[in-house]
Amino acid sequence: MTDFDVVFTPSGRRGRFAEGTTVLDAARTLGVDLDSVCGGRGICGRCQVAVGANPDIPADPARLSQPGSTETDYRGKRPLGEGRRLGCAASVLADVVIDVPAESQVHRQVVRKDAGVRTLPVDPVVRLHFVEVAEPDLSSPTGDLERLLSALESEWGLTGLSADPGVLPELQAALRKSAWKVTAAVRGGTELVAVWPGFRDAVYGVAFDVGSTTVAGHLCELTSGAVLASEGAMNPQIAFGEDVMSRVSYVMMNEGGADRLTSEIRRALDIMIGDLCEAADVSRDTILEVTLVGNPIMHHLVLGIDPRELGTAPFALATTGPVSRRARDLDLDLKDAARVYLLPCIAGHVGADAAGAILAEGPHRSDAVQLLVDVGTNAEIVLGNRHRLLAASSPTGPAFEGAEISGGQRAAPGAIERVRIDRNTLEPRFKVIGSELWSDEPGFAQSISKLSITGICGSGIIEVVAEMYLAGILTTDGVIADRDHPRIEAAGRTSSYILTDDPPIRVTQTDVRAIQLAKAALQAGCRLLMTHLGVTDVDEIRLAGAFGSHIDPVHAAVLGMIPDCRLDRVTAAGNAAGLGAMMALLSGAARDEIETVAETIEKIETATEASFQDEFVAAMGFPNSTHPYPHLAATVDLPEPRQSERVRRRSRKEPA
């Protein structure tokens, strides 16, 4: 029999094969990444290929066998595209180039446009294998499981498989229901985790981002990487404290408090799984993987670990490593073998959410020095590039979330989220969540007729304080200037800025101080990492989290939340932590990657660093009392440094 050259693209793998060898067999022999669930039975349609060409071998369909009944009768879920052949049915008749399209590869990239056009690697943790199992025989008394494992070995080369005990209760019924033909799910090529009667070609997972305020979940098909449904919900733990530290206080002061918070969040996750399944029309028993990110306190509470150690120095985590638990151990009503994987934490206040953000943003894959900031009650800060990565947390407190601010509130309809102040008249205009219009635009009053203005949320308070500084209402050191103006109201020994009359929303001196303390902590944390890394400048700043998406880079820089940087390189990272959870859901290699990176990240403890206090004091000024902001000054007319008398006597002059 004649042998022919078979060349696969894009892998470039090649070999000589006997006439009549199927393309799938040739691919398997060469280790080419060509998918198959049905094992060459012409059912799954995952092995689709096309005839290609190279300088030596022209494209000619006749180099493969004519389509037989397997292909002409094929009616699978993945229709055969124009010029496509089933690799398991087409056989080699001459030298041939075989093109393996991306969708026929097990390891592939999927593009997520909703995540800012990102390419996510898909490298499924769980794979499906359709097999025919030998029937039991009195003369050969082996168990059903043993015969299934034997079939997986002979048909799929899966040697030495173990079986999750959760498979056993469903195994015998599955085999008998479908005439000994079943689909087996194998995790990591080593463990049998589920069996379904007949042929099945989809298996699912859920990626969770557990924030202290909201929980987001995404249901994905594990082999294609498709996101089939996404849901968001409030974290029910809010009833026990607005921010993470107040929840730790709740645990400290209430017997059984940790258990209660744990059961609340687990119940919310289980409900969300149900909602996601309903939205995607997917059965719960086909979900085999769950990944989860969250700050250290959410991470611990989901796992049922008392978080009080995280409430006081030295903020010891129960573990910084990744954690894998049975879903049922976390009260999730999923198949017995379904697993929950929690990404590693980095340090006491730099959690699995930061690990998720790092995985998604990839500073460790970049030459540019990236500053990744996730603002919360504790800001999580990561700085570096492929050569070195540092992380720290900084105690910003809840001011950026609208707490501790006289008119502050959480971002919700009715909250002021944007503010501009006229530099000459000092008159404000603003936008309210729930309306697209600015307050000075025609129709604004009607647009909020069903809302009432209830307060000012985090992005609003950042903007109003930055605008007050730009308009000269605030001095460089944050004192509301004593000016004779109807918008400035004396309040005891200090003054307030009247943002709205009805309802009366004031920005008080105490509010400004709270924002100064928060932003100084954040900037000082960033600068501490810059000092450790030996840089005076960063190439780009990514603001992660929902809050980061709402912060205007210019106002963040004017306020001095972040170090100086080209403003076109200060961008929102979106839900980077959630995207990281999704990457870990879809790719075992992504899990390995973040586990390796997390081990190499240098943790800097802000509380024990002598220079933190100096940086903090300097960062109290707008945008900073000692560090210049040339990039910002090139974009924005910053006021001349003007300090209150009290501070001017003690402080250094700000460099030009």
When asked if residue 355 is in the footprint of ligand FES (CB under 6 A), the reply is no
Tell me the closest approach of the beta carbon of residue 96 to ligand FES, in angstroms.
Answer: 17
When asked if residue 211 is in the footprint of ligand FES (CB under 6 A), the reply is no
Start-to-end CA distance of the chain, whole Å, equals 84
Among 8, 14, 23, 46, binds ligand FES (CB under 6 A): 46
When asked if residue 351 is in the footprint of ligand FES (CB under 6 A), the reply is no
When asked if residue 184 is in the footprint of ligand FES (CB under 6 A), the reply is no
**Residue 583 structure tokens:** 């990457």
When asked if residue 26 is in the footprint of ligand FES (CB under 6 A), the reply is no
In sign, the C-alpha dihedral spanning 311, 317, 323, 328 is negative
Q: Could you give the CA distance from residue 612 to residue 610 in angstroms, rounded to a whole number?
A: 6
Stretch near ligand FES under the rule CB under 6 A, chosen from 36-44, 207-215, 394-402, 525-533: 36-44
When asked if residue 36 is in the footprint of ligand FES (CB under 6 A), the reply is yes
User: 197 forms bridges with which residues in the sheet?
Assistant: 182
Q: Which of 363, 364, 261, 265 is nearest to 310 (CA)?
A: 261
Dihedral-angle region of residue 426 (phi above 0 means left; psi in -120 to 50 means alpha; beta otherwise): left
Amino acid at 197: P
Q: Could you give the CA distance from residue 37 to residue 47 in angstroms, rounded to a whole number?
A: 9
Tell me the closest approach of the beta carbon of residue 105 to ligand FES, in angstroms.
Answer: 13
When asked if residue 43 is in the footprint of ligand FES (CB under 6 A), the reply is yes
In sign, the C-alpha dihedral spanning 553, 558, 559, 563 is positive
When asked if residue 455 is in the footprint of ligand FES (CB under 6 A), the reply is no
When asked if residue 40 is in the footprint of ligand FES (CB under 6 A), the reply is yes
Tell me the closest approach of the beta carbon of residue 368 to ligand FES, in angstroms.
Answer: 43
When asked if residue 398 is in the footprint of ligand FES (CB under 6 A), the reply is no
Element (H, E) at 596: helix 588-600
H helices of 65-143, in order, are: 69-72
Nearer to ligand FES, 47 or 581 (CB): 47
Stretch near ligand FES under the rule CB under 6 A, chosen from 3-11, 33-41, 149-157, 354-362: 33-41
Tell me the closest approach of the beta carbon of residue 39 to ligand FES, in angstroms.
Answer: 6
When asked if residue 183 is in the footprint of ligand FES (CB under 6 A), the reply is no
When asked if residue 223 is in the footprint of ligand FES (CB under 6 A), the reply is no
Q: Which residues contact 215 (CB under 8 A, 6 or more apart)?
A: 208, 209, 232, 233, 234, 235, 265, 268, 269, 272
Q: Could you give the CA distance from residue 384 to residue 596 in angstroms, rounded to a whole number?
A: 16
Q: Could you give the CA distance from residue 334 to residue 86 in angstroms, rounded to a whole number?
A: 35
Q: What are phi and psi of 240, to 5 degrees?
A: -105, 5
Coil, strand or helix: which one is 638? coil
Q: Which of 13, 52, 50, 49 is nearest to 30 (CA)?
A: 13
Q: Are strands 428-432 and 389-394 parallel, antiparallel or unpaired?
A: unpaired
When asked if residue 42 is in the footprint of ligand FES (CB under 6 A), the reply is yes
Size of the site for ligand FES (CB under 6 A): 13
CA 534 to chain centre: 29
Tell me the closest approach of the beta carbon of residue 48 to ligand FES, in angstroms.
Answer: 8
Stretch near ligand FES under the rule CB under 6 A, chosen from 45-53, 137-145, 526-534, 548-556: 45-53
Among 7, 26, 27, 44, binds ligand FES (CB under 6 A): 44
Q: Could you give the CA distance from residue 122 to residue 115 in angstroms, rounded to a whole number?
A: 15
Q: Do 46 and 78 meet the contact criterion of CB atoms below 8 Å apart? A: yes
Nearer to ligand FES, 103 or 146 (CB): 103
When asked if residue 294 is in the footprint of ligand FES (CB under 6 A), the reply is no
Total Cβ atoms within 10 A of residue 429 = 14
When asked if residue 394 is in the footprint of ligand FES (CB under 6 A), the reply is no
Give the contact letters, 53-92, x = binds to ligand FES (CB under 6 A), - = no.
---------------------------------xxx----
Among 23, 38, 302, 332, binds ligand FES (CB under 6 A): 38
Tell me the closest approach of the beta carbon of residue 549 to ligand FES, in angstroms.
Answer: 42
Nearer to ligand FES, 86 or 338 (CB): 86
Tell me the closest approach of the beta carbon of residue 157 to ligand FES, in angstroms.
Answer: 15
Among 45, 356, 398, 407, binds ligand FES (CB under 6 A): 45
Stretch near ligand FES under the rule CB under 6 A, chosen from 44-52, 311-319, 443-451, 557-565: 44-52
DSSP string, 85-98: EETTT-BB-SSEEE
Q: Could you give the CA distance from residue 209 to residue 211 in angstroms, rounded to a whole number?
A: 6
When asked if residue 277 is in the footprint of ligand FES (CB under 6 A), the reply is no
**Residue 313 structure tokens:** 């120095």
Stretch near ligand FES under the rule CB under 6 A, chosen from 8-16, 43-51, 157-165, 290-298: 43-51
When asked if residue 363 is in the footprint of ligand FES (CB under 6 A), the reply is no
Q: Could you give the CA distance from residue 247 to residue 211 in angstroms, rounded to a whole number?
A: 13
Q: Do 41 and 130 meet the contact criterion of CB atoms below 8 Å apart? A: yes
Q: Which residues contact ligand FES by CB under 6 A?
A: 24, 36, 38, 40, 42-47, 86-88
